[in-house]
Every structure is written in C-alpha cells, then in structure tokens.
Copies of this chain bind each other. A is one copy, B any other.
Amino acid sequence: MGKIRINANVSLYPMPVVLVGAMVKGKPNFMAVGWISRVNANPPMLAIGINKNHLTPEGIKENGTFSVNIPRADMVEKVDYCGIVSGRKADKDGIFQVFYGEQKTAPMIDDCPICMECRVFDTIELPTNYLIIGQITAAFAEEECLTDNKPDVQKIDPLTLTMPDNRYWRVGKYAGAAWDVGKGLKG
C-alpha cells in the first residue's frame, strides 16, 4: 500500500478558520477556531469543537448564543492574536468593530465579510472538548463578496489552517465543478 502508520492525531486538510464571538460577562470576546463544520442541512446548523479550558464556552453557555465570523486573509494577525491570547488575560473587546443582529448576545465582527449569528441547539461533552451545535438564525455578508447573490470564495479570500505544522494558507486555484465533474465516470 506504500503507506506508513502515523500518529492518530491527524487533522483535516485544510481546515476553515473562523472567529467565534460570544458575550462573556457582558463583554464581546472572540476566539480563533479551526474545528468547525456545517452539520445539519435544514434548519442550517454548524458545530464547533472547543477545548473546555477556553473562556468562550462560558459565554456561549451563559447566553445560549454565539457568532461565527469568516475573516479575510489580510486579517491574519488579528485572527492569530485571537487564537493565542485568552480573553481571561486580555480584553479583546477593542480589536474589532462589533455589530449585533437579532440576538443581542452574539457579537459579530464588522470587518469580516461573512458573519452568522447562532443559537445553541445542543452541547455534547467530549473528553477534552465541548462540541457546541448551533442553529444559524441569521447571516450577513458584504455585498462586494457576493456573486449571483452567493458568497464567492475568491472575493471573501478566507484563511485556511493546517495542523500540526500550524500554518495558514489562502484558497488557491479552481479545481472543478462539484456534482458535475464526476458525471463522466457514470457507467
């Protein structure tokens, strides 16, 4: 098979990078998260895996709400800062211009081209992490990032992350139309 066994602590390649926002004791707090995925089609839900030691889950638990903000690649320093520095040690309130939607406890980041507000649907306690499942109740986008009313990844210019080498990447070249390019293989 030409393969060797490696440590089972394997990442997905590549992971999206988002800033998760929550109100902690009345103040907006943001953390960088790479362990996130959509998990339910209808209603739209996503899930995030957050280490139990972080401050953000406390705010999410307190309010039952959080936000998911997709940053542009040119925000990489601020994104990384939110991954390095805990809200327990630094006040991240002033880093971003914040806005709110329907839920007054899901702070969203003005600078991010795509922002979603979420309501907690369920929280699963895993050995080291909370798996927080949230319903996306509203979403906001910079109009300049849309093509045919859909978010356009080339205009968003998001970050991706790889671990354990710990590197950020941009999205690269177009590689084909999904639910289409494989049609030729139909037998």
Report which A residues bind B (CB closer than 8 A). 1-16, 18, 34-49, 51, 68, 70, 73, 76-85, 90, 95, 99, 110, 114-116, 121-122, 124, 126-129, 131, 133, 136-143, 146-153, 156, 158-187
Q: How far is the CB of A46 from chain B (nearest CB, A)?
A: 7
Q: Is the CB of A139 within 8 A of B7?
A: yes
26 sampled A-B residue pairs with Cβ under 8 A: A2-B110, A4-B141, A4-B143, A6-B149, A8-B116, A10-B44, A10-B116, A10-B151, A13-B16, A13-B158, A14-B14, A14-B158, A14-B171, A37-B47, A47-B49, A47-B131, A77-B185, A81-B182, A83-B179, A84-B182, A90-B186, A95-B185, A160-B171, A166-B179, A169-B175, A170-B173
Copies of this protein chain in the complex = 2
- Nearest residue, chain B, Cβ from A148: B165
Q: Is the CB of A38 within 8 A of B39?
A: no
- Nearest residue, chain B, Cβ from A73: B175
Q: How far is the CB of A2 from chain B (nearest CB, A)?
A: 6
Q: How far is the CB of A144 from chain B (nearest CB, A)?
A: 9
**A1 in contact with B131 given A124-B122, A166-B178, A178-B167 (CB within 8 Å):** no
- Nearest residue, chain B, Cβ from A99: B1
**Residue of A152, A165, A179 ringed by the most chain B CB atoms within 10 A:** A165
Q: How far is the CB of A167 from chain B (nearest CB, A)?
A: 6
Q: How far is the CA of A79 from the CA of B126 in the complex (A)?
A: 31
Closest 3 CB pairs of A and B: A172-B172, A80-B182, A81-B182
